[in-house]
Every structure is written in structure tokens, then in C-alpha cells.
Chains A and B, each alone.
Chain A
Amino acid sequence: MEHFDLPELQEMARQIRRDLMKMLMISKSGHSGGPLGLSDIFASLYFSILKIDPKNPTWPERDYFFLSAGHLCPVWYATLARRGFIPLKELSTLRKINGRLQGHPAPAYTHGVPGVEIASGALGQGLSIAVGCAIGLRLDKKPNRVYVLTGDGELDEGQIWEAMMTAGHHKVDNLIAIVDRNNCQIDNRTDKVMELEPLAEKWKSFNWHVLECNGNDIEQFLHTIKQAQELSGKPKVIIAHTFMGKGVSFMEDDYKWHGVPPNEEQGKQALSELAPTKYGDFIEFEWEKQPVEVGAK
């Protein structure tokens, strides 16, 4: 297990944001908003919370992590690369032919990357999978924990509610679900597309323990995960309030950034807002080798 302290986690989250911007500038295709908003959560999971071994991705004692909303995978790839599951250089291959960084994630034993347990992309399936995995581990009396991350728009899918019922019914308490509550989806804000509130009450009424936190505050998120780990008797959900596009001023809290990459100019602007870190970028663009431009920090 990696144990970054709080400043290290914050710096890593910023590095992941820089990685995201560069990956998307290279691929010219993919999702910006959700991944930026989740960088703090992914840094926390992979550098503090999850019991994993990058050298042995299928380590039988690992915690299982499922990304139900597969479109968010750029932040997963960046984090997996930073954590040593895949080479950093590979981040340039997002969505490219003959690469492993599929537009929506696939497991290594098909043609995807290590650390991915199962494919996702068609929304709504991950919670059922996590519930099944948790039940399987419990049958074997194994202590491994199961984590799954869903979007909030994704909760419109009926299968999510089937799985919520199944988890509550079977009291699957080795499971922690995290909802990325950024209030944004493709067409509009979530309350315009499909009202989810009262969301916490809904989960509660399906027999879950419900916790809420600011998902862009690493300290709060770590604290909430600890609390969740200690609760028993029911499955646990953390409604993590985040901002889509967090860290890049002109993308923040704007649903229109759900599924588009920054163009060259926007990318440069974004990078200028995200100060370089001690971890270093995975690639240096030609223009970065020039003298510092006006307006850059």
C-alpha cells in the first residue's frame, strides 16, 4: 500500500489533472469534465486507500475497484500510470489504434490495461458487478474490500436500482460505492435531465449506509472513506460532491465539458492554471520548450 501524506496527494491530484489535459490534447477525443473533477478521488484511492500491488495487478489479496462509468477512464489511466500499473509514456496512446488505452476501458486479458477487472462504457452495469464480486469474496470469507465508482447521471439507469436492492437485500457490507455527484451529465445539469433528489434518502430507503462529503477535498474524502470502512451490516455509499472540470477555471461546473477535449489553445490555458509538480509531466510539448509565454504562470 502506498501512503502519501496530504500535501503529496494534493500534488499528485494536480499532476493527474495536468496529465489529463495533455492526454486529451494528444488524443483530440475524450472526456475532460468528469475526469478533472475526479482527480482528487483517484489520487486518494490509488495513493492512500486501495490495497493493491502494481507489480501484481491480480494479487489475490487486492481490493477490487470497478469504474462503472467507463467514459471517465482518462483519469483512471493517468492514475494507473502514476501508480506504476502502466508506463507513463503510454498515456500518449489514449484512444489510438493498436493501443491499450481504449476509449472505454477493457481488462488486460482482452486488449486493455492491468488494473481493469472488466469492461465498462455502457452505463449502469458496474454496481451489479461490484455486488457480485463482493458476494463472491464474502462466500470465501476473504477480507478484500470492493469499491465501485458511478456517475450521477448514470444513476438514471434502471439496473443501478436493481443492484441497489440486491446489495441491500444481501447486506453486502464489504462494498463501498462512490457516486460522483457533480450535477452534470451530457444534455444538461442532472436536475434538468432527470431529478435525482432526494438522493441520499433514496439510497437509505434501499437499506444502504449513506455518507456525503466534498469529493474535491482530499482530507474530507479520506476521512469519509475511513468512516465507511468502519460501518457494517449494510452496503455503504459515499455521495461525493465534486465539480465537473475542477481545476480548470473555464471548465468548472459546466456540463458542456462532459465529453469534449480541450483544443490546443484551451489546453495551454488549462496547463497554465495547473502548476507543474515535482512528479513531472509524461511528455513535454514542443511549445513548452520555448521561452515562457505571456499569461503563463
Chain B
Amino acid sequence: MPKLQSTDLKATRLGFGEALVELGRENPNVVVLGGDVTGSVRTDLFMKAFPDRFISVGVAEQDMIGTAAGLAVAGKIPFASTYGEFAVGRPFDQIRQSLAYSDLPVKICASHCGITVGPDGATHQSLEDIAIMRVLPHMTVATPCDYHQTKKMIHASMMWKHPIYIRFFRENTPVFTDVSARFEFGKADTLIEGTDVTVIACGLQVWEAILAEEILASEGISVRLLNMHTIKPLDKDAILKAAKETGAIVTAEDHQRHAGLGGAVAEVLAEQYPTPQEFVAVNDTFGESGKGDELMKKYGIAKDDVVKAVKKVLKRKKS
């Protein structure tokens, strides 16, 4: 496999905004809802290109979900977007009843997720959203790892027949996935092959895991890396294959350690192939203000934490 390298620094939210404009050109039924954070979540690009198909609902997330549901009933393809915490925390009941139970193809596009949103502090750091969304029947949950993958994911979501939650980020982050790589919901990307241990990461922790792998490789540890961009439906085959072939699992995510990606992976392993697992995640605590990279270190979700978790799980590995 060619070595993974960062070619640029670009925000996933920009990939989202640009993809929306492309979809807007492609399909006249695409509509976008705005909740007064349009410039931040980059729906400003769509608003400028297609003002008639941009629907402002004001700072009213519950109404945004309901309006999106109604647009879907009328045959439109609605993308509703705001910050992660306000996209799922405030309107949970609306999402549950009007989107999930009603199984309507609305896309909830949450930007500014995770602790890396940084200086805004804990109120704006959405660390529970994967858990909240993946527990809902009919809901798909996905999170891209870089700008390119965000674009592909947004394109792939257009014709998705069910409600979908897509989680991305504010920061400019390394762009490292292959532009030409195929994207499919529910199929994990094997980014690095390895035999001693598997790191299953999502979102920005994929890059942290790539950095960790370099360190571990230099110490003679062979790491497999899966980018688990879809948390629901989960690629169980890839997880079980990794468990059987490498015998040790580390999960890594910018999310609470309970019920997120790690929890989802643990559910599969417990039931089908019990395997030692370590969790790189925020440890059941709220965040605070700071820079994204400082917070990742302080809250234990940076590359060094992946390295530590790998060493720990290798000690627990059955020989």
C-alpha cells in the first residue's frame, strides 16, 4: 500500500458546502435548510448559488427538522445543517418521530462536532451525538475523515432512502484519502494492512491513527487501520475479520467512550468473537475551551493515546 500522506489542509465542512452546490446543479429537488449558522456550516455556498432552494428557518432547530420532514413528504431532498450539538441535542424528539419513526429521507448534516471545535467550549462540543443517533431505528450514522471523503459521502447520501446523520468538523485538517477511491456507506476502508493489532477509527481520529501507526511500525508493531466512516450500519465483516486475523482491537473517536464507535464495535465483538479492546475516546466528561490539538491531547484522543492503547491491548492479547 502506498504511504498515506497529507496533501493539503482543508475543512470537512468546506467539502460539505461544495458538495451541496454540486448536488444542487445535478438535481433540482435538492433543498437546504439554514438555522442562522449558514456561513459556519458552509451552506452559504448553496444559498448564493440557489437562493430559491435555500430555506431559512431562523435559530429554530426543532422547526428545522420538522420543516425538512415536510419537504421530504412533498418529494424534495432536504439537507438540514447546523452545529452537531444543536442538530441532535435540541431536536431529538423531532428527529425520532418525524424522521426516524416516519423513515423519511432527510439528511441531518452536523458540522463543528467533537472536542476539536475548541475555543467555544463544552456547550458547543458535541460528544454524544453518535450515541444518540445510532440508537434510533432506521437511522444511518456516518462521519467522514477528510475533505475528499466528506464530498463523496454527501454525494452518496443524496439518493439514500432513509434518514441519515452525517457528522463532520470545523477545523482545517489533513487531506489524505485518495480522490479516486470508491465510497460506499457501510463498507469500512482498510487504509493500512497489518497483523498484530487493528485500530478502528472514525472522523479526525483516522489521521491520528495514521500518525500513531508510523510510531508503532518503527517499533516493529504491525498495525491494521480501518476507517469506520459508517457507524450504522456497521461493517461487521471487517470488524470480525480484523478480530480473527489480528486478535486485538483499539477504537478511536472524538466522542464519549460510551455508546459511540467503540461501543458499537464492542457490541459486535461481545456477541460474535470476544476480543480484547481498548477505547480511545473522551472519558465520560465534558470538554472545555482550548485549541483543538491541545484538547485532543488533554482529553486523551490524540496519536499518543492511540499508541498507548495499542501497547496496552497487545499485553491483553491472547497468544
Contact = CB atoms under 8 A, between A and B. Distances in A.
Contacts of A118: 69-70, 73, 98, 102, 104
Interface residues of B, number: 32
B101 A166 contact: no
Contact of A133 (B52, B70, B94, B97): B70
Contacts, number: 118
Given A135-B55, A136-B31, A170-B55, A129 B67 contact: yes
Contact residues of B: prevailing secondary structure = helix
A125 B102 contact: no
Contacts of B68: 132
Interface string A41-69: 00000000000000000000000101000
Contacts of B102: 106-107, 110, 118-119
Interface in A109-137: 109-110, 117-122, 124-137
Nearest to B138: A110
Interface of A: 64, 66, 106-107, 109-110, 117-122, 124-137, 139-140, 158-159, 162-163, 165-166, 169-170
B63 A163 contact: yes
A129 B33 CA distance: 13
Nearest to B65: A128
Given A133-B70, A139-B76, A162-B62, 5 more contacts: A117-B73, A118-B69, A129-B98, A132-B66, A140-B74
Interface of B: 31, 52-53, 55-58, 60, 62-63, 65-76, 78, 93-94, 96-98, 101-104
Contacts of B65: 128
Contacts of B103: 109-110
Contacts of A107: 102
A147 to B, nearest CB: 12
B63 A64 contact: no
B70 A131 contact: yes
B59 to A, nearest CB: 9
Contacts of B57: 162, 166
Contacts of B98: 118-119, 125, 128-129
29 contacts: A66-B70, A106-B102, A117-B73, A118-B70, A118-B104, A119-B102, A122-B96, A125-B69, A125-B97, A128-B62, A128-B63, A128-B70, A129-B66, A129-B69, A129-B70, A132-B67, A132-B68, A132-B69, A132-B70, A132-B73, A132-B74, A133-B70, A133-B74, A135-B55, A136-B76, A140-B74, A159-B94, A162-B62, A165-B63
B101 A128 contact: no
Contact residues of A: prevailing secondary structure = helix
A131 B63 CA distance: 9
Nearest to B76: A136
A205 B63 CA distance: 19
A106 to B, nearest CB: 7
B130 to A, nearest CB: 23
A126 B102 CA distance: 13
Nearest to B106: A132
Residue from A64, A119, A128, A134 having most chain B Cβ neighbours under 10 A = A128
A66 B70 CA distance: 10
B70 A136 contact: yes
Nearest to B52: A139
